[in-house]
Amino acid sequence: MMTQINTSQELTLTCQDCARYAADTARYASPGHANGRPPARMHLKGLRKRAGFTPVLITLNGERFELDQRVSVTELLTKLEIDPRRVAVEHNLAILKRQTFPDVIVEDGDTVEIVNFVGGG
């Protein structure tokens, strides 16, 4: 059931889990909490968990990177706005041929290195 609550700010929140969010917000309205709201990350994490959403965490060029779901290398490059013709991609220590980009799926825990080609003289 969709519920709509007004947070008494300039925002109206509509979601299936609003009653729980309102209860969480009331819990954080005590004087010990600076702004009277639960941390946004905590609420989003709870919604993701209840919705069956599990982020895909990868290592991208040595940095932790979160994806909404498993994606192909082509989809990852599109998401990053990278032209696949101008890069080399290493996936889990294997250098990929460009024609395999659509078939290789990036999953949770994978390591991806993307190297750009740079021209010059």
Based on the fold, state whether residues 110 and 60 are members of the same structural domain. yes
pLDDT digit string (tens) for 39-78? Answer: 555 455 555 555 566 899 999 999 999 999 999 999 999 9
Residue at token pair 């825990």: 109
Write the DSSP string, 2-38. Answer: -EEEE-SSS-EEEETTHHHHHHHHHHTTSTTSSSSS-
Rg (CA), the chain: 21
Domain membership of residue 61 (yes or no) is yes
Based on the fold, state whether residues 65 and 94 are members of the same structural domain. yes
Domain membership of residue 121 (yes or no) is no
Report the range of poorest mean pLDDT among 12-26, 52-66, 81-95: 12-26
At residue 92, the pLDDT reads: 98
At residue 98, the pLDDT reads: 96
Residue 107 sits in a domain whose CATH number is 3.10.20.30
Number of domains in the chain: 2
User: Three-state DSSP class for 93?
Assistant: coil
Based on the fold, state whether residues 65 and 97 are members of the same structural domain. yes
Based on the fold, state whether residues 28 and 70 are members of the same structural domain. no
Judged against a pLDDT cut of 80, whether residue 15 lies above it is answered with: no
pLDDT digit string (tens) for 1-13? Answer: 444 554 444 444 4
Based on the fold, state whether residues 61 and 111 are members of the same structural domain. yes
Instruction: List the one residue out of 45, 43, 41 whose CA is nearest residue 54.
Output: 45
Based on the fold, state whether residues 20 and 63 are members of the same structural domain. no
Domain membership of residue 40 (yes or no) is yes
Based on the fold, state whether residues 43 and 66 are members of the same structural domain. no
The pTM score is 0.57
Residue at token pair 């609550």: 5
Domain of 15, in residue numbers? 3-47
